[in-house]
A and B are shown apart, each in its own frame.
Chain A
């Protein structure tokens, strides 16, 4: 038993190191000068500087507008995805309608296409609609991958709510919509929180569609950071500072919703898990 525990602890420690190494490295790099970054052997002791942060926040290549763009795109994509995904997932989980299984599979199948294969059709479609390099264009494209993901995640949460609870509400004359609002939704709010965060993260971190379908007007932070890498040089310290700034809201969001995330991820693991 002790050996088992020791093994698990060791394994967890290894995973933690592997996972946190790039994050810590980026954090350290963001406080180095470009010279220190390129020093060999790498310097662990160095004179920290905030110059990179001042530069990427307030310098000529400020990332603030790009962080704002990312925020707009990710927020709208998330809000729209959740607004559609919650009722859609409820319908797939609970209602009987023609071609229900076909619909469910179709939603999942859209996730099976490699995104890079969709870039050209998306580009042409947005071009025809004059929606290239617009917020609305990018938000709609983001919906194509965030919506199926959100629907499928939410379906599992809805399925986890005992059917009898809803039936009790129906017998209490709540009707389908009020049963959903008063009884079902409060019980999947952990799931809604988790799904919202994941959808937001996916949109926030998205690069491929943003780089091709965005432009000068709509340039998300992931694309803007890419500009620090050029043929002549790579500005590692600024790139790292940008990455830390881009990571910050996501980490903050994760910490705020940590309780929900853990509960939401263990849904169905134990009876009653993830509810309330």
Chain B
């Protein structure tokens, strides 16, 4: 018996003519979970969300909600609410009417509609804007209106399609915190599509990373950050992303160019690998991987130092102004447990 709000996708395949855009998506989302679908543009995350909503037909696989197969159910029969990237507010209706619309469509009595609308609007702090038309609202207010319209019916499942992408940077940071609080308060299972890995990391309980129509990793933000399952995930997660350098394993050591470091773990055979190092895991020291400072990017409270190591550019994130100058020869230090090793051929984590 499943709890209310669980979602499962089994072997979802979607084709556009000869092109396969989803190659068998399998997902299980727990009740009340905030689940992010993360991936670059065209990776299939929005298509997956639309299939969940019932807005997009698919070629194979099943959608299961609370243990019930809803694959062939119409969008309106699935008890889901969605916030679209464009918000899709009804421009001819006032904010009040927009929020009231889902309630009116299920025949809610007038007084309950009024209570519901005011309650939902208060939750997203737009209760003073109810008489306005969407065209008279700012982007942030429109987004709140769309949220209120989604929560007013108290659905089992929220689907959010890049809801913050049209907001400016400051508002985006504020809204994502509020969104997270709202979701916790309501306890509704939420599936959130974004291409912004930072957003996914901060907001979600778990993340599914989509690359080219496949889920390449599912895990908590920490899992995905600390233990990327493959080179593609490693290269996608983190800002700036992980440095990936060609190296080899020789007799228990990892060799990058002319630099050799202890591997610090057993069970990895000799051979070519890709070495992954997070920019934040690197520091400047008297000894270590030799390089030359190419460029220092000052971010105010931190800096990103671009260091040429052999033919490659390695990014180093420091928490303070680094004591290095452009052109200076430096050594990069890292702890053995900060090393990520990937199979050179398959890209899989070792």
- Which A residues are closer than 8 A to B by beta carbons? 162, 164-165, 167-175, 178, 182-183, 186-187, 275-276
Contact = CB atoms under 8 A, between A and B. Distances in A.
B80 A171 contact: yes
Interface in B65-102: 74-76, 80-82, 84-86, 88-92, 101-102
B324 interface: no
A167 B105 CA distance: 14
A187 B92 contact: yes
B135 A172 contact: no
A171 B91 contact: no
B76 A162 contact: no
B105 A172 contact: yes
Contacts of A276: 91-92, 135
Contacts of B82: 167-168, 171
A170 B106 CA distance: 12
Q: Is the interface of A mostly helix, strand, loop or mixed?
A: helix
A178 B135 CA distance: 23
Contacts of A186: 90, 92
Nearest to A96: B57
Interface string B228-251: 000000000000000000000000
A165 B75 CA distance: 13
A183 to B, nearest CB: 5
B76 A172 contact: yes
A182 B88 contact: no
B90 A183 contact: yes
Contact of A187 (B80, B91, B101): B91
Contacts, number: 61
Given A170-B55, A182-B101, A276-B135, A175 B88 contact: no
A275 B91 CA distance: 8
Contact of B86 (A162, A174, A175, A178): A162
B100 to A, nearest CB: 10
Given A162-B86, A164-B86, A178-B105, A171 B81 contact: yes
B105 A173 contact: yes
Interface string B212-229: 000000000000000000
Contacts of A173: 76, 102, 105-106
A187 B106 CA distance: 22
A164 B102 contact: no
A167 B84 CA distance: 9
B197 to A, nearest CB: 25
A196 to B, nearest CB: 19
Contacts of B76: 170-175
A179 to B, nearest CB: 9
Contacts of A172: 76, 81, 101-102, 105, 149, 153
Contacts of B36: none
Nearest to A164: B88
Contact of B75 (A164, A170, A183): A170
Given A172-B81, A172-B101, 16 more contacts: A164-B88, A167-B53, A167-B75, A167-B82, A167-B84, A168-B82, A168-B90, A169-B101, A169-B105, A170-B75, A173-B76, A173-B106, A174-B105, A178-B105, A182-B101, A186-B92
Nearest to B50: A167
30 contacts: A164-B86, A165-B90, A167-B55, A167-B75, A167-B84, A167-B88, A168-B82, A168-B84, A168-B88, A168-B149, A169-B90, A169-B101, A170-B74, A171-B53, A171-B55, A171-B75, A171-B76, A171-B80, A172-B101, A172-B105, A172-B149, A173-B102, A173-B106, A174-B76, A174-B101, A174-B105, A175-B76, A178-B105, A182-B101, A183-B90
B75 to A, nearest CB: 5
A172 B53 CA distance: 11
B190 to A, nearest CB: 15
A214 to B, nearest CB: 41
Contacts of A175: 76
Interface string B127-166: 0000000010000000000000100010000000000000
A168 B50 CA distance: 11
A174 B149 CA distance: 14
A49 to B, nearest CB: 51
A175 B54 CA distance: 13
